[in-house]
Chain A
Amino acid sequence: MTETASRAAPGVESDHPTAAIGRDLGACPVKHFDFSPARPIGSHWQLAKELRLACPHFFNTFAQGYWVFTQYDAVRDIYKNPDIFSSESITPWEPDPVYRFVPTQIDRPDHIGYRRILNKWFSPARMDQAEPVIRSICRRLVAEAAPVGHCDFVNEFALRYPTEAFLGVIGVDIAQADLFLEWVEDFFAGFGGDPDAVDVMVAALGGIREYWVDALAERRGDAEPRPGDLCSHLLFAKYNDERPLTEEETLDMLVVLVLAGLDTTRGELGYMFHHLANHPGDRRRLIEEPEIIPYAVEETLRYYTIVFGDGRKVGRDVEFHGVQLKRGDMVYGLVSAANRDPTVYERAEEYVLDRKNNNHFGFASGPHRCLGMHLARREMQIGVEEWLRVIPDFRVASDELLLERGGGSMMSLQSLPLEWR
Chain B
Amino acid sequence: MKLVVDDAVCSGHGRCYRLAPDILSYDEEGYVAGRGEPIDFPGERRELAVEIVGTCPEQAILLIDD
Contact check, B30 vs A124: say whether CB atoms are below 8 A apart.
yes
Q: Are B30 and A123 in contact, with the CB atoms below 8 A?
A: yes
The reply on B51 being an interface residue by CB < 8 A is: yes
Q: Return chain B residues, CB-CB under 8 Å to A367.
A: 11
Closest to B30 in A: A123
* Chain B interface, DSSP helix/strand/loop, else mixed: loop
Contacts of B43 in A (CB 8 A): none
- A357-B54, A359-B56 known; A116+B14 contact, CB < 8 A: no
| Further 12 A-B residue pairs, CB within 8 A, beyond A120-B29, A366-B11, A373-B13 | A80-B58, A119-B12, A124-B14, A124-B17, A357-B51, A358-B55, A359-B15, A359-B59, A363-B57, A365-B58, A369-B11, A374-B14
> Chain B: which residue is nearest A365 at the CB level?
B57
Query: Min CB distance, B24 to chain A, in Å?
Result: 11
Q: Are B29 and A123 in contact (CB under 8 A)?
A: yes
A122 to B63, CA, bound (A): 29
Q: Which residues of B contact A125 (CB under 8 A)?
A: 26, 28, 30
Contacts of B59 in A (CB 8 A): 76, 359
Q: A124-B14, A373-B13, A373-B14 are in contact. Are A366 and B30 (CB under 8 A)?
A: no
Interface of chain B residues 1 through 53 with chain A (CB within 8 A): 9, 11-15, 17-18, 26, 28-30, 51
| Cβ-closest chain A residue relative to B29 | A119
A52: CB under 8 A from chain B? no
Q: Which residues of A contact B55 (CB under 8 A)?
A: 356-359
Are B30's CB and A122's CB within 8 A? Answer: yes
Q: Is A417 in contact with chain B by the CB < 8 A criterion? A: no
Residue in A119, A294, A360 whose CB lies within 8 Å of B57: A360
Q: Assess whether A361 is interfacial by the CB under 8 Å rule.
A: yes
Q: How far is A357 from B15 in the complex, measured between Cα atoms in Å?
A: 10
Complex alpha-carbon distance, A218 and B46, angstroms: 54
Is there an interface contact between A356 and B58, defined as CB atoms closer than 8 Å?
no
- Judge whether B12 and A369 touch: CB under 8 Å: yes
Write out the residue numbers on chain B whose beta carbons fall within 8 Å of the beta carbon of A124.
Answer: 14, 17-18, 26, 30
Q: Which residues of A contact B29 (CB under 8 A)?
A: 116, 119-120, 123
Whether B58 contacts A120 by the Cβ 8 Å rule is: no
- 8 Å CB interface, A332-377 against B: 356-361, 363, 365-367, 369, 373-374
- Can you list 14 A-B contacts with CB-CB less than 8 angstroms, sorted by A residue number? A76-B59, A116-B29, A119-B12, A123-B29, A123-B30, A124-B17, A294-B18, A298-B15, A358-B55, A359-B57, A367-B11, A369-B11, A369-B12, A369-B13
Known: A120-B29, A125-B28, A374-B30. A356 touches B54 (CB 8 A): yes
Chain B residues with CB under 8 A of A363: 13, 57
Is the Cβ of B58 less than 8 Å from the Cβ of A119? no
When A123-B29, A124-B30, A125-B28 are in contact, do A369 and B18 touch as well, CB less than 8 Å?
no
Query: Chain A's nearest CB lies how many Å from the CB of B62?
Result: 15
| Residues in A whose Cβ lies below 8 Å from that of B12 | 119, 369
The answer to whether A365 and B11 touch (CB under 8 A), given A357-B51, A357-B55, is yes
Residues of A within 8 A of B56 (CB): 359
CB distance from A348 to the nearest CB of B (A): 15
A-B interface, 5 closest residue pairs, ranked by CB to CB distance from nearest: A357-B54, A119-B29, A123-B30, A365-B57, A359-B57
Q: Which residues of A, 374-395, contact B by the 8 Å Cβ criterion?
A: 374
CB distance from A195 to the nearest CB of B (A): 34
Q: B58: which A residues are within 8 A, CB to CB?
A: 80, 365-366
Let me know if B51 and A123 touch, CB within 8 A.
no
| Interchain CA distance A249-B37 in the complex, whole Å | 35
Q: How far is the CA of A271 from the CA of B59 in the complex (A)?
A: 27
Contacts of B28 in A (CB 8 A): 120, 123, 125
Min Cβ gap A342→B in Å is 16
Question: Which one of A80, A359, A366 lies within 8 Å of B54 (CB-CB)?
Answer: A359
- Min Cβ gap A303→B in Å is 15
CB distance from A292 to the nearest CB of B (A): 13
Indicate with 1 or 0, residue by residue over A111-122, a CB within 8 angstroms of chain B CB atoms: 000001001101
Shortest C-beta distance, A361 to chain B (Å), equals 6
* A365 vs B57: C-alpha distance when bound (angstroms): 7
Q: What residues of B have a CB within 8 angstroms of the CB of A358 in the complex?
A: 55
Residue on A with the closest CB to B47?
A: A356
Per the 8 Å Cβ criterion, residues 276-307 of A in contact with B are: 294, 298
